[in-house]
Amino acid sequence: MKILAVDSSAKSASVAVCEDGRLISECFVNASLTHSRTLMPMVDNALTQADLNIKDVDAFCVNVGPGSFTGIRIGVAAVKGLALAENKPCAGVSTLESMAYNFADDSCIVCAAMDARCNQVYTALFRCDGENVERIGEDKAISIDELCEVLSAYDEKVYLAGDGAEICMKAFGNKLPNVYLSGENRRYQRAFGAALAAENNKESFTDSALLAPVYLRLPQAERELKLKKGELLK
């Protein structure tokens, strides 16, 4: 199955074309450029590099969150449009889970952590055994102090990944000697990781109309409005 995968859930953006778990082509940008301007040219470029056109794609997938509210909406809208136009299935993948696939050939715990501001992170834990990626914690938004407590229960090697990894590492100090900051080559979510996650859960492919963002918490403007109304606790 040929999959075109998209990620625009944070500052970086990427597009990948793969077939049965094999990467055919990939475009990755981490220059804080506007995703609405760069994403579709990246799709065209990835398909051109793979010597394919959009009609050759069997299915689409996208990281649906957590992450940047605007970035997630752009990626989801792009994939919904492509899948609808071609009448092809699509899958929504956790941004955090897609990161874990950067470590699939390692034996470790992966702590995916995205900066959620206000001393919080979007995070989830995964175990890699050199071949497989197993989820061992649900996606959630918690404080960095809470994450430190969670990780203190593990004595095996833990890699921090994501754009919140460096922030967490600095906050942890020397409290967690078995926790390591991942190298930049594996730190960020990639569209290829989303494709692998979708391939490993083929039940996630569905009609494009059902594809939707997953934010984990309300957008800031909506949070502030609810706080004013007394509907939300700080």
Tell me phi and psi for residue 11, to 5 degrees: -65, -35
Peptide linkage before 177 cis (omega within 30 of 0):
no
**pLDDT tens digits, the chain, 234 residues: what are they?**
999 999 999 999 999 999 999 999 999 999 888 999 999 999 999 999 999 999 999 999 999 999 999 999 999 999 999 999 999 999 999 999 999 999 999 999 999 999 999 999 999 999 999 999 999 999 999 999 999 999 999 999 999 999 999 999 999 999 999 999 999 999 999 999 999 999 999 889 999 999 999 998 755 545 455 555 666 555
Angstrom distance (rounded) from CA 75 to CA 52: 21
What is the per-residue pLDDT for 105?
96
* Helical (H) or strand (E) element with 158: strand 158-161
What is the per-residue pLDDT for 229?
63
What is the per-residue pLDDT for 214?
95
What is the per-residue pLDDT for 223?
46
* Secondary structure of residue 150 in the 3-state scheme: helix
Residue 229 has which token pair? 């109304």
- Specify the CATH class of 97-187 in words: alpha beta
Contact present, 64 and 93 (Cβ < 8 Å): yes
What is the per-residue pLDDT for 33?
84
pTM for this model (two decimals): 0.92
What is the per-residue pLDDT for 127?
98
Domain coordinates in residue numbering, the chain: 2-95+189-216, 97-187
Angstrom distance (rounded) from CA 84 to CA 55: 12
CATH architecture of 2-95+189-216: 2-Layer Sandwich (3.30)
User: Do 97-187 and 2-95+189-216 have the same topology in CATH?
Assistant: yes
What is the per-residue pLDDT for 231?
61
